[in-house]
């Protein structure tokens, strides 16, 4: 197992066993949110080895995510239930390298928050915005990385005007409801929220096992981290101002691309990014692949970038492709996807609304 299991999951689980399961959550010091600690406490009541149980949790969300990828593709392309294409996407989602490495090999929980993001996307497509916001709030309760998707929700609101702004209150409400059991058990709210703030300042390295903007720069966190964030917010501002313009029409498939671009911008220019932080894009890329099969090289490069970054953390060797070279590939790919969104319109599926 990777270091996260030895350093974090195993000792946390042992602590919970020795301190009464769920009752041990208030005193457990962890940089993971309580939502995942509930799962660790729960699986301790079942047989099998801890590593198997942790991976089974990831597998459950792997399969659930694949189901919603199937449903999203079926909805966007307006396919009948007898059409086999969404089922093929279901299979692909389970076996792309980053998913296999993240869940089957590593036993990580990135699939959990990603699953709820996919559920949220599907619910938005079905015009069930209330439950879509609830699902997104649950995603955020598991991982702070779900925050990368937040700009897309504001775009949906201002561009579509099909739901109330009050729905945004459901995001913190859904998260808060998940916190309540830990709060009742005696964990102060400040400690629960601290898991988020701790994650923000936990690492003062510009980049960790990943290919992005900072792979091309000297490791001077104090100087370059601010530079990267200024670039990020500037690019997001320009990108979204153009998207907000009334003469730019967004289709359902475009929102998938916008979400991918937004997350990719964040993970490229934010400091202290890890190899797993673009994981949600790995699954969105499956949707992209089946909507735009002639652009198959886009998801393949996304999966290559992320799988290449996993190798040092999991196996102690690599990356096979130098981080700096892959950072340039990442940047070129990001520019290409933006170009395809704004100017390469002939490739759009013609069957969606």
Q: Read out DSSP for 163-188?
A: S-GGGGGHHHHHHHHHHHHHHHHT--
How large is the average pLDDT for residues 97-116?
96
Q: Which pLDDT band, with edges at 50, 70 and 90, does 318 fall under?
A: confident
CB 45 within 8 A of CB 33: no
pLDDT in tens, 243-256: 998 778 899 999 99
* Least confident interval from 117-121, 144-148, 203-207, 330-334: 203-207
More confident of the two residues 79 and 343: 79
CB 323 within 8 A of CB 341: no
Judged against a pLDDT cut of 70, whether residue 2 lies above it is answered with no
Of residues 275, 274, 292, the one with CA closest to residue 284: 292
Quick one: 281 exposed, middle or buried, by C-beta within 10 A (0-12, 13-18, 19+)? buried
Q: Which pLDDT band, with edges at 50, 70 and 90, does 61 fall under?
A: very high
CA 113 – CA 35 distance, rounded (Å): 10
Question: pLDDT at position 265, please?
Answer: 98
Judged against a pLDDT cut of 80, whether residue 340 lies above it is answered with yes
CB 91 within 8 A of CB 286: no
Question: pLDDT at position 202, please?
Answer: 67
CA 244 – CA 293 distance, rounded (Å): 28
Judged against a pLDDT cut of 60, whether residue 94 lies above it is answered with yes
CB pairs under 8 A, 24+ apart, for 236-243? 236/151, 236/262, 236/265, 239/265, 239/338, 240/151, 240/154, 240/155, 242/342, 243/155, 243/159
Question: pLDDT at position 279, please?
Answer: 98
Question: pLDDT at position 292, please?
Answer: 96
Q: Which pLDDT band, with edges at 50, 70 and 90, does 1 fall under?
A: low
Mean per-residue pLDDT of the chain: 93
Question: pLDDT at position 276, please?
Answer: 93
CA 312 – CA 319 distance, rounded (Å): 6
Of residues 303, 45, 25, the one with CA closest to residue 183: 25
Of residues 223, 260, 245, the one with CA closest to residue 340: 260
How large is the average pLDDT for residues 105-125?
97
157 SS3 class: helix
Angle between helix axes 34-43 and 170-185 (nearest 10 degrees) is 50
CB 94 within 8 A of CB 63: yes
Judged against a pLDDT cut of 90, whether residue 336 lies above it is answered with yes
Residue 17 has a CB neighbour count (10 Å cut-off) of 15
349: Cβ contacts below 8 Å, ≥ 6 apart? 76, 77, 253, 291, 292
How large is the average pLDDT for residues 151-157?
97
How large is the average pLDDT for residues 101-107?
93
CA 88 – CA 33 distance, rounded (Å): 34
207 SS3 class: strand
The full set of domain ranges for the chain reads 3-347
* Least confident interval from 190-194, 298-302, 335-339: 190-194
Judged against a pLDDT cut of 50, whether residue 349 lies above it is answered with no
Question: pLDDT at position 201, please?
Answer: 62
Quick one: 343 exposed, middle or buried, by C-beta within 10 A (0-12, 13-18, 19+)? exposed
Which letter does DSSP use for residue 5 in this model?
I
CB pairs under 8 A, 24+ apart, for 95-98? 96/282, 96/285, 96/286, 96/303, 97/303, 97/306, 97/307, 98/279, 98/282, 98/303, 98/306, 98/307, 98/310
* Least confident interval from 1-10, 289-298, 334-343: 1-10
Judged against a pLDDT cut of 90, whether residue 353 lies above it is answered with no
Judged against a pLDDT cut of 90, whether residue 144 lies above it is answered with yes
Proportion of the chain above pLDDT 70, given as a percent = 95
């Amino acid at each position: 197992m990777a270091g996260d299991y030895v350093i974090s999951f195993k000792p946390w689980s042992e602590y919970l066993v020795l301190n009464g399961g769920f009752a041990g959550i208030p005193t457990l010091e962890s940089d993971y949110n309580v939502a995942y600690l509930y799962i660790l406490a729960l699986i301790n009541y079942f047989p099998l080895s801890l590593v198997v149980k942790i991976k089974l949790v990831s597998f459950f969300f792997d399969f659930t995510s694949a189901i919603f990828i199937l449903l999203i593709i079926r909805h966007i392309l307006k396919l009948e239930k007898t059409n086999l294409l969404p089922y093929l996407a279901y299979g692909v989602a389970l076996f792309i390298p980053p998913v296999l490495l993240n869940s089957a090999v590593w036993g990580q929980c990135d699939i959990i928050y990603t699953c709820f993001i996919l559920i949220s996307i599907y619910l938005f497509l079905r015009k069930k915005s209330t439950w879509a916001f609830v699902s997104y709030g649950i995603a955020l309760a598991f991982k702070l990385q779900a925050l990368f998707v937040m700009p897309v929700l504001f775009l949906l609101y201002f561009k579509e005007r099909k739901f109330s702004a009050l729905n945004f209150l459901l995001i913190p409400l859904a998260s808060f409801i998940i916190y309540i059991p830990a709060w009742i058990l005696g964990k102060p709210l400040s400690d629960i929220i601290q898991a988020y703030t701790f994650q923000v300042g936990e690492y003062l390295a510009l980049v960790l096992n990943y290919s992005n903007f900072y792979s091309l720069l000297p490791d001077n966190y104090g100087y370059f981290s601010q530079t990267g964030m200024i670039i990020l917010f500037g690019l997001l501002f320009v990108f979204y101002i153009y998207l907000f313009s009334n003469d730019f029409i967004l289709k359902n498939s475009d929102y998938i691309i916008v979400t991918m671009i937004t997350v990719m911008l964040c993970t490229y220019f934010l400091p202290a990014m890890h190899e797993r932080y673009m994981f949600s894009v790995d699954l969105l890329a499956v949707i992209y692949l089946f909507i735009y099969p002639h652009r198959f090289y886009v998801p393949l490069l996304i999966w290559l970038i992320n799988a290449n970054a996993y190798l040092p953390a999991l196996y102690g060797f690599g990356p096979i492709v130098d981080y700096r070279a892959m950072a340039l590939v990442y940047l070129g790919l990001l520019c290409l996807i933006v170009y395809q969104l704004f100017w390469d319109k002939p490739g759009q599926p013609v069957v969606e609304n």
